[in-house]
Amino acid sequence: MARTAGSNGTRTLESIRKAGLRLIYRQGYEAMSLRQLASEVGIQAGSLYNHISTKQDLLFDLIRVHMEELIDRLDKTLEGVAGPSDKLDAFIRFHVEYHIARKREVFISYSELRSLEPKNYDAIVELRARYERRLIAVLDDGVAAGVFATADTTVAAFGILAMLTGVCTWFKPGGRMTKDEVIAVYTGLVRDGLARDADKPKAISPPPPPPAGGAPGA
């Protein structure tokens, strides 16, 4: 992606990125034109090429920056957190909070992956794999320490990520549940799914039905 030197060029580039994010989220990458993008920013279409090389470069840059920031912030979140259980809780909270806050970036990084050219696609898939490996490592440590139980940590990580990322499709600020309540539910689901059999709560048998003809509690 081309870069224009100077503060004005930096501000214009940031405006282009924000406008591109809005347009791609709203109508899709294929439907967005560079002329429309320029109009959204308030510059001539030809001036776009002082800041970006192609529409493909813009899409790749948006997804790449999103993924690199996601990984960097996760690493900072987990830094200093001891023990696989606490790391798992920290990962869940981070993932949900970040994905609620960056709904547009997350949507584009998944829905427009197919629109990337092969070399760009491969680069983004590798960044996604780096993020996934962070969670797999936490699960591996938990299994090794005897606090988690799962037949396959990679499959478990993919399942957890799919569930957590789904929050983008339904969570609404001011809705029935707060963000912290949602995080607590997800944390419980993940923890229960990874619990060893010995740690799982025993099922409580229902009380026997009352005798025929007798009133309940009689």
Sequential DSSP letters for 149-216: --S-HHHHHHHHHHHHHTHHHH--TTSSS-HHHHHHHHHHHHHHHH--GGGSPPPPPPPPPPPTTPPT
- 146 and 173 housed in the same domain: yes
CATH code of 24's domain: 1.10.10.60
Query: pTM score > 0.85 for this model?
Result: no
**Whole-number percent of the chain with pLDDT over 70:** 86
pLDDT confidence tier of residue 206, bands split at 50, 70 and 90: low
Q: What is the mean pLDDT of residues 73-101?
A: 96
**In the numeric block, which tokens belong to residue 40?**
């959204």
Q: What is the pLDDT of residue 214?
A: 42
Q: What is the pLDDT of residue 44?
A: 86
pLDDT confidence tier of residue 2, bands split at 50, 70 and 90: low
178 torsion bin: left (phi>0), alpha (psi -120 to 50), beta (else): beta
- 11 and 83 housed in the same domain: no
- 23 and 79 housed in the same domain: no
Q: What is the mean pLDDT of residues 112-122?
A: 96
pLDDT reading at 124 higher than 90? yes
Q: How many CB atoms lie within 10 A of CB 165?
A: 14
| Amino acid letter, residue 41 | V
- 184 and 136 housed in the same domain: yes
Q: Which of 33-42, 46-55, 68-77, 149-158 has the lowest mean pLDDT?
A: 46-55
CATH code of 84's domain: 1.10.357.10
Q: Is residue 213 part of a domain?
A: no
Q: Is residue 97 part of a domain?
A: yes
Among 101, 99, 114, smallest CA distance to 161 is for 99
Number of separate domains in the chain: 2
